[in-house]
Amino acid sequence: MSNTPMAASPLTRAVLEIDEYAAGLGWNQPARLFALVDTARLRAQEPGLAAQLGLDGEQETAGFTPIEQDEVPADKPLDEFLGTIAWPDPVVGCALTVERLMLPPSAEASVPKGLGEAELAQWVAKHPGRQEVRMTVAVLRDGARESALRLREKDSPTPTEVLTGSDLVPGLAEALAATFAE
């Protein structure tokens, strides 16, 4: 968490930590899924694992430790994959980081009608106003949400170039929240 602001909420800090990790891997990466566990509980119940993760010396009591999960399958639609996930009780939240192309709102009127999903993706990829963005979205079992967006063109190691907010990617947040539905 070298660049993560300490004044941020624990969930915001977790999202920024994941964003910083993903930024360190560079662009053109696959989607990555993380379980979020309560750091204090992890230290108390799994001191060996906490030590492996470098958490044994930390004094912070409120916070979440992201634990990267197995690879997200690239050959399956993300919503279908998320629909197959169920988390055990110790997991208090989850997060996903994914790269996408975005268009400015002004481009919406120029989208050709009747395009299939693959055709639309090709059209967006060729649009001059497209932006590459990395989205990191996290949700907790209690419904709390947080997101971070990083534009490739403004990529920087400092978190000042990362936009955060609880409702930046509502569809993805809903899909992640559904992984906790009973």
The number of CA neighbours under 13 Å toward the Cβ of 63 is 21
pTM over 0.75: yes
Residue 110: the pLDDT is 79
Residues 2-34 as b or e (16 or more Cβ within 10 Å = b): eebeeeeebbbbbbbbbbbbbbeeeeeeebbbb
Q: Is the dihedral of CA 112, 115, 118, 119 positive or negative?
A: negative
Q: Block means of pLDDT (10 residues each) for the chain, length 182 residues?
A: 63 93 92 93 77 65 85 88 92 95 76 79 78 93 94 70 88 94 80
Residue 1: the pLDDT is 45
Given a contact cutoff of 8 angstroms between Cβ atoms, the answer to whether 8 and 90 are in contact is no
Residue 59: the pLDDT is 58
